[in-house]
């Protein structure tokens, strides 16, 4: 298999792009693709202060690495969830983030918020004491992470939050929403969510990157990461749809990319329209000050009542 650019030995075949690349040209391509995505969807500019949500996994570390290489003002934020589950998940993932900084970007800034130390309960503890999420901590975890991201971004003067969601993540969510024709979710799913009522803009610069490409990227860059996925995500619906979509992709390369990008195009051009639920009025939570549609306390602050 030969590199489409230089004829050298290719390390990856991206059938959806009809492109085979050697290590050097793949790294170039990956970085350029991320930059093109940032520009195309107007995610942020070099003047923005960007907070990158890092988990210690391949996608978020690859994202932080690329953003720093591209010269963005990108600081990392790690949220300690306190998940052990006999594999020391959270400890290991923080280690990977620290190792990444030391080995690759010693000048980079990593903000660490430990949920247990900061608020008194880890995610698994909190999940046991609240009603949310039918026995799984995922709903609580999402809520807590969003709150902390928004609050670190606000306090640190960040104008954008970047997350490592890749095309596989986005397309699995899209499939889930489409199978139920959930117009509200389908109206909102996007590569970038604009700033609203003081909540920082949220961007996903990897929406055109397949998961396997992020894996190849960190391998070639020598970035170590946590291989385990979160123990609570095992057997999740999202993972089920990912497998299904990989089957489709295998049968017809480019299916995932086409499904997602054509969705964005059809919606942007008005070929397909999804009704948006009326946006609720937001007001600041009396305790934390973050905008909320709930009563006096936002959903996050109510968790700790």
Question: What is the binding site for its own copies (CB under 8 A)?
Answer: 178-181, 183, 186, 240, 244, 247-248, 251, 255, 258-259, 262-263, 265-266, 270-275
**Distance in Å, CB of 174 to its own copies, minimum:** 10
Minimal distance, residue 172 CB to its own copies, in Å: 13
How many angstroms separate the CA atoms of 205 and 146, rounded?
A: 18
Residue 72 or 260: which CB sits closer to its own copies? 260
Q: In terms of CB distance, is 46 or 235 closer to its own copies?
A: 235
Least CB distance to its own copies at residue 122 (A): 31
H-assigned helices in 180-236: 183-188, 211-221
Of the candidates 198, 171, 189, which has an alpha carbon nearest to the alpha carbon of residue 272?
Answer: 189
CB 227 within 8 A of CB 96: no
For its own copies, the closer of residues 69 and 246 by Cβ is: 246
Closest approach, Cβ 175 to its own copies, in A, equals 9
Q: How far is the CB of 145 from its own copies (least distance, A)?
A: 27
Nearest approach, Cβ of residue 27 and its own copies (Å): 31
Q: How big is the chain by its Cα radius of gyration, in Å?
A: 20
19 burial type by CB count under 10 A (0-12 exposed, 13-18 middle, 19+ buried): middle
Distance of alpha carbon 277 from alpha carbon 112, whole angstroms: 35
The smaller minimum CB distance to its own copies, of residues 9 and 239, is found at 239
- Closest approach of Cβ 11 to its own copies, in Å? 29
Nearer to its own copies by Cβ, of 131 and 271: the residue is: 271
The residue count of the chain comes to 305
Collect all residues with Cβ–Cβ distance below 8 Å to 106 and sequence separation of at least 6: none
Q: At what angle do helices 255-268 and 167-179 cross, to 10 degrees?
A: 70
Output 2 or 276, the one with its CB closest to its own copies.
276
| Dist CA 264 CA 41 (whole Å) | 11
User: How far is residue 209 from each of residues 10, 17, 26, 134, 271, measured CA to CA in Å?
Assistant: 18, 11, 12, 32, 25
Report the residue number, 194 or 268, with the smaller CB distance to its own copies: 268
């Amino acid at each position: 298999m030969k590199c489409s650019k230089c004829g050298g030995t290719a390390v990856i075949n991206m059938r959806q792009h009809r492109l085979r690349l050697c290590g050097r040209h793949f790294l170039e391509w990956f970085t350029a693709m991320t930059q093109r995505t940032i520009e195309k969807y107007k995610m942020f500019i070099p003047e923005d202060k960007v907070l990158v949500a890092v988990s210690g996994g391949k996608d978020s570390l690859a994202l932080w690495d690329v953003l720093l290489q591209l010269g963005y003002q990108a600081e990392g934020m790690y949220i300690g969830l306190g998940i052990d589950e006999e594999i020391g998940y959270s400890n290991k993932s923080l280690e990977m983030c620290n190792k990444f900084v030391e080995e690759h970007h010693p000048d980079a800034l990593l903000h660490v918020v430990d949920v247990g130390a900061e608020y008194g309960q880890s995610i698994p503890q909190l999940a046991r004491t609240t009603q949310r999420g039918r026995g799984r901590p995922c709903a609580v975890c999402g809520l807590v992470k969003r709150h902390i991201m928004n609050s670190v971004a606000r306090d640190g003067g960040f104008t954008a939050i970047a997350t490592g969601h890749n095309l596989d993540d986005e397309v699995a969510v899209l499939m889930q929403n489409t199978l139920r024709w959930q117009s509200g979710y389908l109206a909102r799913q996007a590569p970038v969510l604009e700033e609203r009522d003081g909540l920082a803009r949220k961007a996903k610069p990897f929406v055109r990157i397949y998961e396997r490409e992020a894996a190849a990227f960190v391998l070639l860059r020598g970035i170590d990461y946590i291989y385990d996925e979160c123990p609570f995500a095992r057997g999740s619906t999202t993972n089920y749809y990912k497998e299904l979509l990989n089957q489709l992709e295998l049968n017809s390369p480019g299916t995932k990319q086409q499904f997602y990008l054509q969705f964005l195009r059809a919606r942007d051009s008005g070929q397909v329209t999804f009704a948006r639920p009326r946006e609720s009025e937001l007001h600041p939570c009396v305790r934390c000050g973050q905008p909320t549609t709930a009563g006096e306390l936002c959903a996050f602050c109510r968790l700790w009542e």
